[in-house]
């Protein structure tokens, strides 16, 4: 199947409190969205919650047993999500041209990006070191098993990164394949009878943006359906390693629409609630689905936190308005946190995950990714509509500051996933 065509990426920023400001933002967003490509991105930030009862530091579940797939333990007291980026002369773990499964907007070099420094940064946690990504261990672990990424186009990027990280050790072209079919993308490593899959569900719940190809809905018309996790969840059954993520699609303003009936109903019963509450409902539904359908003795579940966007350079102190366009160095303020990553939403994630009895591993990638204004797809992607002279004269106006180039930042998310999977 083809790569899904353009979708509206709602890279809306928050803070639209005054009507005037909202209008301004709406115009900017309209432009951004118009040219935002397919599959809206969703933020994924991953950081693990280091609380013993979440099993993230000890390699054990709450009752003291080992987690599935663990081969060792993390160094005590090391928060792998707290660290800094260090220059790595060796460069990325694979080359863009060597991974045939990448699609735009991940394929930045193919679309004209000439600088490569963004591929040379390695994440160094303050208190320990990350284990090296071992593709053979990953594939052997997935033998006769399924790994699935569920979420939006940002999670699609993390999925493609994982595929690229493992596929290089499969020598024969015939022994690996990728199939796009509706909401499901399946990478298969035939000799291992292993699959790595991606499932399009930008809200996890049933929504009016679920069409994998045409999911463009005007920002404020987006709605999810209450108690509808099984609609998509029925397609996730039997998965051994799950990686969920959902965020950016929720950010359309301060409120979000929740619907009681089906999307075909005429007399829809729609309630508008604060976005955090709608998001909380999705988290509760996801955790309920996991506890009903996954066996903590045999499976692992990860959740990637919100992926930051870099759409307004005044946030990082640039003198003039700009965005991720033409950014080749990262932000060096260790405390930098953009307003697009709502702290309230992070609190909801924290509160709901604390209550979960199934040991879910948080990949808290938000902070580490916030520094990386240099790592976005920017203008180096497929443009579905021809660019206008006005756009060509002002490239920043059509830069994609949500998705990330690969190889790049999202490989680090998967190195963190690797660390948490095998050395929890």
Q: Which of residues 73-112 bind ligand NAG (CB under 6 A)?
A: 81-82
Q: Identify the residue among 98, 140, 234, 292 touching ligand NAG (CB under 6 A).
A: 140
Cβ nearer to ligand NAG, comparing 257 with 340? 340
Q: Has 403 been annotated as catalytic?
A: yes
Minimum gap (Å) between residue 18 Cβ and ligand NAG: 11
| Contacts of ligand NAG in 292-331 (CB under 6 A) | 295-297, 312, 314-315, 321, 326
Of 23, 193, 344, 388, the one binding ligand NAG by CB under 6 A: 193
**352 in contact with ligand NAG (CB under 6 A):** no
Cβ 138 to ligand NAG, closest distance in Å?
Answer: 8
> Which is the catalytic residue, given 7, 58, 153, 370?
153
Contact string (CB under 6 A) for ligand NAG, positions 55-74, x = contact: ----------x---------
- CB 271 to ligand NAG: min, Å: 26
Find all residues with CB under 8 Å of 139, minimum gap 6, and list them.
166, 169, 170, 189, 192, 194
Angle ∠(387,393,398) on CA atoms, nearest 5: 50
Binding piece for ligand NAG, criterion CB under 6 A, among 85-93, 129-137, 155-163, 274-282 = 129-137
15 dihedral zone (left: phi>0; alpha: psi -120 to 50; beta): left
- 182 near ligand NAG, rule: CB under 6 A: yes
Euclidean distance between CA atoms 290 and 285, whole angstroms: 9
The least CB distance from residue 47 to ligand NAG, in Å, is 4
CA atoms within 13 A on the CB side of 351: 12
CB of 267 to ligand NAG, least distance (A): 30
Q: Please tell me the distance from the alpha carbon of residue 124 to that of residue 141, in angstroms, as a whole number.
A: 25
CB nearer to ligand NAG: give 336 or 384.
Answer: 336
Under the binding rule (CB under 6 A), the answer on residue 28 touching ligand NAG is yes
Given a contact cutoff of 8 angstroms between Cβ atoms, the answer to whether 13 and 124 are in contact is no
Distance from C-alpha of 59 to C-alpha of 246, rounded to nearest angstrom: 26
364 touches ligand NAG by CB under 6 A: yes
Stretch that binds ligand NAG, among 52-60, 202-210, 226-234, 360-368 (CB under 6 A): 360-368
Q: Decide whether 132 or 270 has the Cβ nearer to ligand NAG.
A: 132
Span of 91-99, 110-118, 130-138, 153-161 interacting with ligand NAG by CB under 6 A: 130-138
Nearest to 10 by CA among 247, 205, 243: 247
Q: Per CB under 6 A, does 367 bind ligand NAG?
A: yes
Nearer to ligand NAG among residue 361 and residue 366 (C-beta): 366
The verdict on 170 binding ligand NAG (CB under 6 A) reads: no
Please give the C-alpha separations between residue 116 and each of 112, 161, 379, 413, 415, in angstroms, as whole numbers.
Answer: 11, 17, 15, 19, 20
Residue span binding ligand NAG (CB under 6 A) among the ranges 215-223, 277-285, 291-299, 408-416: 291-299
User: Per rule CB under 6 A, is residue 349 in the interface with ligand NAG?
Assistant: yes
- 383 noted as active-site residue: no
400 is catalytic: yes
Q: Active site residue: 79, 374, 400, 411, which one? A: 400
Calculate ∠ Cα 223-224-225, nearest 5°. 125
Query: Which residues are near ligand NAG by CB under 6 A?
Result: 28, 47, 49, 65, 81-82, 134, 136-137, 140, 144-146, 181-182, 193, 295-297, 312, 314-315, 321, 326, 346, 349-350, 362, 364, 366-367
| Catalytic residue list | 153, 400, 403
């Amino acid at each position: 199947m083809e790569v899904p065509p353009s979708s509206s990426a709602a890279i809306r920023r928050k803070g639209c409190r005054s009507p005037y400001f909202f209008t301004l933002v709406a115009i900017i967003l309209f432009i951004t969205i118009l040219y935002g490509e397919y599959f809206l991105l969703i933020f994924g930030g991953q950081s693990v919650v280091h609380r013993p009862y979440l099993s993230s530091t000890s390699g054990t579940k709450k009752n003291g047993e080992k987690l599935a797939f663990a081969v060792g333990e993390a160094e005590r007291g090391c928060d792998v999500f707290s660290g800094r980026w260090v220059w790595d002369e060796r460069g990325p773990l694979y080359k863009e041209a060597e991974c045939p499964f990448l699609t735009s907007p991940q394929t930045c070099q193919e679309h004209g990006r000439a600088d490569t420094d963004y591929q040379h940064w390695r994440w160094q946690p303050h208190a320990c070191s990350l284990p090296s990504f071992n593709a053979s261990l990953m594939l052997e672990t997935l033998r006769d098993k399924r790994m699935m990424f569920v979420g939006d186009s940002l999670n699609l990027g993390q999925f493609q990164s994982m595929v690229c990280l493992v596929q290089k050790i499969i020598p024969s072209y015939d022994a690996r394949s990728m199939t796009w079919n509706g909401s499901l993308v399946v990478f298969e490593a035939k000799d291992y009878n292993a699959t790595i899959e991606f499932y399009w569900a930008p809200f996890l719940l049933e929504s009016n943006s679920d069409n994998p190809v045409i999911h463009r809905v005007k920002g404020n018309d987006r709605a999810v359906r209450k108690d509808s996790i099984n609609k998509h969840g029925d397609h996730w059954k039997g998965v051994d390693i799950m990686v969920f993520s959902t965020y950016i699609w929720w950010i359309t303003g301060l409120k979000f629409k929740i619907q009681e009936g089906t999307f075909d109903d005429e007399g829809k019963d729609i309630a508008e609630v604060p976005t955090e509450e709608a998001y909380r409902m999705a988290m509760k539904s996801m955790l309920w689905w996991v506890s009903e359908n996954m066996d903590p003795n045999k499976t692992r579940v990860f959740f990637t936190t919100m992926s930051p966007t870099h759409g307004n350079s005044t946030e990082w102190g640039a003198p003039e308005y700009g965005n991720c366009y033409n950014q080749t160095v990262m932000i060096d303020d260790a405390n930098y946190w953009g307003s697009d990553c709502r702290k309230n939403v992070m609190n909801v994630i924290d509160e709901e995950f604390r209550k979960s009895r199934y040991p879910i591993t948080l990949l808290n990638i938000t902070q580490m990714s916030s520094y990386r204004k240099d790592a976005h797809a920017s203008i180096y992607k497929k443009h579905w509509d021809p660019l206008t002279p006005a756009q060509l004269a002002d490239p920043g106006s059509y830069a994609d500051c949500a998705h990330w180039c690969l190889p790049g930042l999202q490989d680090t998310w998967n190195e963190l996933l690797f660390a948490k999977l095998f050395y929890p």
